[in-house]
Chains A and B, each alone.
Chain A
Amino acid sequence: MHEMSICEGIIQVLEEQAASQHYQRVKTVWLEIGPLAMVENDALRFCFDAVTRNSLAEGARLEIIELPGLAWCLECARSVTITKRYDACSECGSYQLQVTQGEELRIKELEVE
């Protein structure tokens, strides 16, 4: 399951940062996820609880910040929102879109102690 390895990636980052940021425990994790990141939020929450068990983030809360997908439409010369990789421009219907935001999958912030 892909979400499982993502959660393991999260734990790795948390453990790596623990020494330099001087914390022993993580209480809340804020993630930023775009609609093109290939992640199911529900599956992610499920895995997060399983993977954080016996870790420095045991019992931590997972907060997901859903970023909008954005693309530059070459026809309209403006930024439009998208939800899928192959969405057409909502204004003119063109497929000549360059994705500018939506692939994000990152840890934004932590509450630690």
Chain B
Amino acid sequence: MCTVCGCSEGEVSIEGHQQHHGHSHDDHQHHHHSHPEEDEHQHSHTDSVVVAEGSNLHFGQGAAHAHAPGLSQSRMVQIEQDILGKNDRYAGQNRQRFDAMNLFALNLVSSPGSGKTSLLTASIEKIKGRCPVAVIEGDQQTANDADRIRATGVEAVQVNTGKGCHLDAHMVGHAMERFTDLSGGILFIENVGNLVCPAAFDLGEAHKVAILSVTEGEDKPLKYPDMFYAADLMVLNKTDLLPYLDFDVGQCIAAAKQVNPDIEVIQVSARSGEGMDDWLSWIEQRRVARIRKRIEQLNSQISLLQEMV
């Protein structure tokens, strides 16, 4: 186990290189990874693994467990523990950190190929220079998407989850250590292409955004209700293809609203640029709303403090 952060070894990686390869840690107990900004590593943990190569983090499937047979009598223990409680604690730390640096974080979830990376590169071209922008790219393998993001000139960290089918809050916390100062900026987290379990893993984001493309079925929100329930916005992408398909936009929106009456819907084409302004102004409005909420919180804290002096 790593004595710095308590990580054990595994398959997840966070990168900086073009590609990563599988690690074999069979013959050594201590993996080598760098922990830039050591003091920034706020959480202590003894759970999963991080192997870093440059800014590429590999997260693994857990440590080797000691077999410790006991001789005592068996007995019952009531523990009442949420299995995802640990993730939620890391997510809470991420959220605090994002708030403290006024970083607006969005968690983009979708099936593979719905156009998350395309939407991001198109969006970044329009907003970069206005405020710091950075991307955490989640994929099982390859750093291709992080490379696509970096080609736009903004920072990206690739997280390869190995066999893992979602990003978790612990991975995001480690990925955050690799960025320069993003205060006052926007962080996009592109989750692993999967409409199922990313819904269950809070990363500390301000909002989950579900991307659905018109080449998928209108009934996807009904087939994967948890994701559309967890999302605050559905971005319907690839609208440039609508003339060639019999995709029923109204039916799709109705399905999303059936699962989540409060969900907002924006139609875009990352390719043609149609609807991009709606999407970008949604981001801006939500970002400002979040800052306002934080001002309120801080103001009420100040009033409390003032009463004490």
What residues of B have a CB within 8 angstroms of the CB of A31 in the complex?
Answer: 83
What residues of A have a CB within 8 angstroms of the CB of B70 in the complex?
Answer: 23-25, 113
The answer to whether B164 and A109 touch across the interface, beta carbons within 8 angstroms, is: no
> B62 in the interface, Cβ–Cβ < 8 Å?
yes
What is the CB-to-nearest-CB distance from A46 to chain B, in angstroms, rounded to a whole number? 14
Partner of B166, one of A2, A9, A27, A110: A2
The answer to whether A38 and B196 touch across the interface, beta carbons within 8 angstroms, is: yes
What is the CB-to-nearest-CB distance from A48 to chain B, in angstroms, rounded to a whole number? 12
> B68 in the interface, Cβ–Cβ < 8 Å?
yes
> A112 in the interface, Cβ–Cβ < 8 Å?
yes
Partner of A109, one of B47, B77, B163, B168: B77
The answer to whether B200 and A2 touch across the interface, beta carbons within 8 angstroms, is: yes
> A11 in the interface, Cβ–Cβ < 8 Å?
yes
What is the CB-to-nearest-CB distance from B284 to chain A, in angstroms, rounded to a whole number? 30
- Count residues of B near A (Cβ-Cβ below 8 Å): 45
What residues of B have a CB within 8 angstroms of the CB of A13 in the complex?
Answer: 79, 81, 83, 85-86
What is the CB-to-nearest-CB distance from B205 to chain A, in angstroms, rounded to a whole number? 18
Complex Cα spacing A91 to B13, Å:
50
- The stretch from B25-33, B127-135, B222-230, B240-248 touching chain A is B222-230
Known A106-B80, A112-B77; judge A2-B68 contact (CB<8 A): no
Say what secondary structure dominates the interface of chain B. loop
Instruction: Name the residue of chain A whose CB is nearest to the CB of B72.
Output: A113
> A58 in the interface, Cβ–Cβ < 8 Å?
yes
Instruction: Name the residue of chain B whose CB is nearest to the CB of A107.
Output: B81
Known A4-B61, A5-B197; judge A111-B163 contact (CB<8 A): no
> A78 in the interface, Cβ–Cβ < 8 Å?
no
What residues of B have a CB within 8 angstroms of the CB of A86 in the complex?
Answer: 222, 225, 229, 258-259
What residues of A have a CB within 8 angstroms of the CB of B77 in the complex?
Answer: 17, 21, 23, 109-112
Q: Which of B62, B80, B229 has the most CB of A within 10 A?
A: B62
What is the CB-to-nearest-CB distance from B36 to chain A, in angstroms, rounded to a whole number? 26
> A55 in the interface, Cβ–Cβ < 8 Å?
yes
What residues of A have a CB within 8 angstroms of the CB of B81 in the complex?
Answer: 13, 17, 106-107
Complex Cα spacing A103 to B65, Å:
29
The answer to whether B86 and A109 touch across the interface, beta carbons within 8 angstroms, is: no
What residues of B have a CB within 8 angstroms of the CB of A23 in the complex?
Answer: 70, 72, 75, 77
Partner of B65, one of A16, A54, A110: A54
What residues of B have a CB within 8 angstroms of the CB of A64 in the complex?
Answer: none
The answer to whether A5 and B164 touch across the interface, beta carbons within 8 angstroms, is: yes
Partner of A55, one of B65, B165, B166, B200: B65
> B306 in the interface, Cβ–Cβ < 8 Å?
no
Q: Which of A5, A17, A95, A106 has the most CB of B within 10 A?
A: A5
What residues of B have a CB within 8 angstroms of the CB of A16 in the complex?
Answer: 46
What is the CB-to-nearest-CB distance from A10 to chain B, in angstroms, rounded to a whole number? 6
23 A-B interface contacts by CB (under 8 A): A9-B84, A11-B62, A12-B86, A15-B46, A15-B65, A17-B77, A23-B70, A24-B70, A25-B69, A25-B70, A36-B226, A54-B64, A85-B225, A85-B259, A95-B258, A109-B78, A111-B75, A111-B76, A111-B77, A112-B74, A112-B75, A112-B77, A113-B72
Given A10-B83, A51-B62; 4 other pairs, CB 8 A cutoff = A5-B197, A13-B79, A24-B68, A113-B72
